[in-house]
Amino acid sequence: MARFFDAEQISKTYPGVKANDQIKLSIDAGEIHALLGENGSGKSTLVKIIYGLLPPDEGKMLLNGQRYRPQSPRQARAEGVAMVFQHFSLFEALTVAENIELGMDDPPSRNKLEATIDQIGQRYRLPILPRRIVGDLSVGERQRVEIIRCLMQNPKLLIMDEPTSVLTPQEADQLFETLNELSHEGTSILYISHKLEEIRNLCTRATILRLGKVVNVCNPKSKSAQELAELMVGTNFATASKGSTVKGSEPLLCAENLSCGAVTEFGVSLSDVNFEVKKGEILGIAGVAGNGQEELAAVIAGEAKATGSLRFKGSDLLHKRITERRELGLLTAPEERLGHSAASEMSLTENAFLTADQRMALSSSGVIDWKKTKDFTRSVISQFDVRATGADSPARALSGGNLQKFVIGREIAQKPEALVVNQPTWGVDAAAAAIIRQALIDLASKGAAVLVISQDLDELLEISSSIAVLNLGQLSAAKNTDEITRNEIGLLMGGVHGPTVGSETTVVAA
Amino acid sequence: MLQLEPRLENSRVWIIATPVIAVLCTIIAGGAMFALLGINPVQATQTIFWAPLFDPELSAYARPQILVKAAPLILIAIGLSIGFRANIWNIGAEGQYVMGAIAAGAVGLAFYPLDAWYIFPLMFVAGLVGGAAWGFIPAMLKTRFGANEILVSLMLVYVAEHFLASVSLGFLRNPDGSGFPGSRNFQQYESAANPELIAGTGIHLGVIFAIFVVALAYALIRFHRFGYQVNLTGKSLRAARFSGVNPTKLTIACLCLSGALAGLAGMFELTGPAGQLTIDFNVGYGFTAIIVAFLGRLHPIGITAAGLLMALTYIGGELGQFMLNLPSAAIQAFQGMLLFFLLSLEFLTTYRIRFKLKRDA
Give the residue extent of every domain in chain A.
3-233, 251-340+416-493
Give the span between the Cα atoms of A337 and A345, in whole angstroms: 12
CB contact under 8 Å between B361 and A397, yes or no, is no
- Mean pLDDT computed over every residue of chain B: 91
Cα–Cα distance between B336 and B33 in angstroms, integer?
Answer: 12
Q: Facing residues of A254 across strands?
A: A276, A311
> Same topology for domains A3-233 and A251-340+416-493, yes or no?
yes
Residue B284 zone, left/alpha/beta (φ > 0; ψ -120 to 50; rest): left
Instruction: Say how many CA atoms lie within 13 Å of A140 toward its Cβ.
Output: 25
Q: What is the pLDDT of residue A500?
A: 39
Q: How confident is the model at residue B9 (pLDDT cuts 50, 70, 90)?
A: low
Tell whether the model's pLDDT for residue B360 goes beyond 50.
no
- Which of B224, B226, B241 comes nearest A303 by C-beta? B241
Q: Which domain holds residue B146?
A: 65-296
Nearest CA in chain B to A299: B242
Q: Does A72 touch chain B (CB under 8 A)?
A: no
Is residue B336 included in any domain, yes or no?
A: no
Q: Which of A59, A358, A367 sits opposite B223 (nearest CB)?
A: A367
A69 neighbourhood in chain B, CB within 8 Å? 361
DSSP letter string, B74-98: HHHHHHHHHHHHTT-----HHHHHH
CATH number of the A251-340+416-493 domain: 3.40.50.300
**Measured distance CA(B156)–CA(B139) in Å, rounded:** 12
Q: Which residues contact B18 (CB under 8 A, 6 or more apart)?
A: B342, B345, B346, B348, B349
The series of mean pLDDT values per 10 residues for chain A, 510 residues long, is: 85 81 92 86 88 91 90 90 85 90 84 90 86 83 88 90 79 88 92 83 90 90 83 68 61 93 75 93 88 91 93 92 95 92 94 96 95 97 90 88 93 96 85 89 93 90 92 90 85 57 35
Mutation target to probe the A interface, by most A beta carbons within 10 A, among B9, B233, B236, B352 is B236
User: Residue B182 — φ and ψ, nearest 5°?
Assistant: 110, 155
Indicate whether B239 belongs to any domain: yes
Contacts of B1 in chain A (CB under 8 A): none
Which among A258-272, A334-348, B34-48, B147-161 has the top mean pLDDT?
A: B147-161
Taking an 8 Å cut-off on Cβ atoms, the answer to whether B236 and A343 are in contact is: yes
Q: Do residue A334 and residue B242 have CB atoms under 8 angstroms apart?
A: yes
Closest CB from A56, A340, A366 relative to B224:
A366
Count CB atoms within 10 A of the CB of residue B337. 18
Asked whether residue B256 is domain-assigned, the answer is yes
Residues 6+ positions from A462 with CB-CB distance below 8 Å: A239, A240, A437
**Is the Cβ–Cβ distance between A329 and A375 less than 8 Å?**
no
* Nearest of B169, B137, B167, B132 to residue B155 by alpha carbon: B137
Is the ipTM reported for this complex over the cut 0.90?
no
* Window 274-303 of A, Cβ < 8 Å to B: 301, 303
Chain A hits for B244, CB-CB cut-off 8 Å, are 321-323, 326, 357-358
Domains of chain B: total: 1
Peptide bond before residue B113 is cis, with ω within 30 degrees of 0: yes
Inspect the interface and report whether the beta carbons of B8 and A15 lie closer than 8 Å: yes
pLDDT at A240: 60
The sheet with strand A66-67 has its strands ordered as A17-28, A3-14, A58-63, A66-67
CB-closest option in A56, A366, A394 to B225: A366
Interchain proximity A350–B242, CB inside 8 Å: no
CA distance A99 to A90: 6
CATH no. of A3-233: 3.40.50.300
CB contact under 8 Å between A322 and B242, yes or no, is: yes
Closest CA to A145 of A212, A106, A102, A96: A96
* pLDDT of amino acid A243: 53
The partner residues of A273 in beta bridges, in order of sequence, read A258
For residue A16, what pLDDT is reported?
Answer: 66
Q: Quick one: pLDDT at residue A264? A: 67
Are B309 and B66 contacting, i.e. CB atoms less than 8 angstroms apart? no
Question: B242, A341: Cβ pair inside 8 Å?
Answer: yes
Q: Searching chain A, which residue's CA lies closest to the CA of residue B229?
A: A354
| Residue B12 near chain A (CB below 8 Å) | no
B243, A344: Cβ pair inside 8 Å?
no
Residue B186 half-sphere exposure, CB side, CA atoms within 13 Å? 31
Partners of A255 in beta bridges: A275, A310
Q: Nearest-CA residue of chain B relative to A297?
A: B242
The reported pLDDT for the residue numbered A199 is: 87
Flag whether residue A385 sits within 8 Å of chain B, measured between CB atoms: no
What is the C-alpha to C-alpha distance for residues A430 and A59, in angstroms, rounded to an integer?
A: 29
Q: Do residue B225 and residue A336 have CB atoms under 8 angstroms apart?
A: no
Judge whether B144 lies within some domain.
yes
The amino acid that residue A423 corresponds to is: Q
Whether residues B238 and A336 touch (CB distance < 8 A) is answered with: yes
Q: How far apart are CA A408 and CA A309, in angstroms?
A: 26
Is B148 a domain residue? yes
In tens, the pLDDT along B203-236 reads: 999 999 999 999 999 999 999 999 999 999 999 9
Cα A117 to Cα A144: distance, rounded to the nearest angstrom: 11
The residue in chain A having the minimum alpha-carbon distance to the alpha carbon of residue B354 is A15
Q: Do B228 and A15 touch (CB under 8 A)?
A: no
**Chain A nearest C-alpha distance from B233 (Å):** 9
* CB within 8 Å: A357 and B236: no
Which chain A positions have a beta carbon within 8 Å of B228's beta carbon?
350, 353, 368
Contact check, Cβ <8 Å, B239/A340: yes
Q: How far apart (Å, rounded) are the C-alpha atoms in residues B127 and B268?
A: 9
Chain A: closest CA distance from residue B126 (Å): 27
A421 forms beta bridges with A333, A452
3-class SS of residue A108: coil
* pLDDT over 70 percentage in chain B: 96
Coil, strand, or helix at residue A300?
A: helix
CB-CB under 8 Å, A16 with B8: yes
Residues of B in contact with A334 (CB under 8 A): 242
Domain contains B122: yes
Give CA–CA dist A90/A254, Å, rounded. Answer: 38
Q: Which residues of A touch B7 (CB under 8 A)?
A: 15
Q: Say if B225 is an interface residue toward chain A (CB within 8 Å).
A: yes
Q: What is the pLDDT of residues B266-280, one digit of tens each?
A: 999 999 999 999 999
Nearest CA to CA, how far is A260 from chain B (Å)? 18
Residues 6+ apart with CB under 8 A from B138: B90, B92, B147, B149, B152, B153, B156, B255
**Whose CA is closest to A179, among A80, A89, A103, A84?**
A84
Q: Give the A:B interface size as CB pairs under 8 Å.
A: 74
Task: Specify if B242 maps to a domain.
Answer: yes
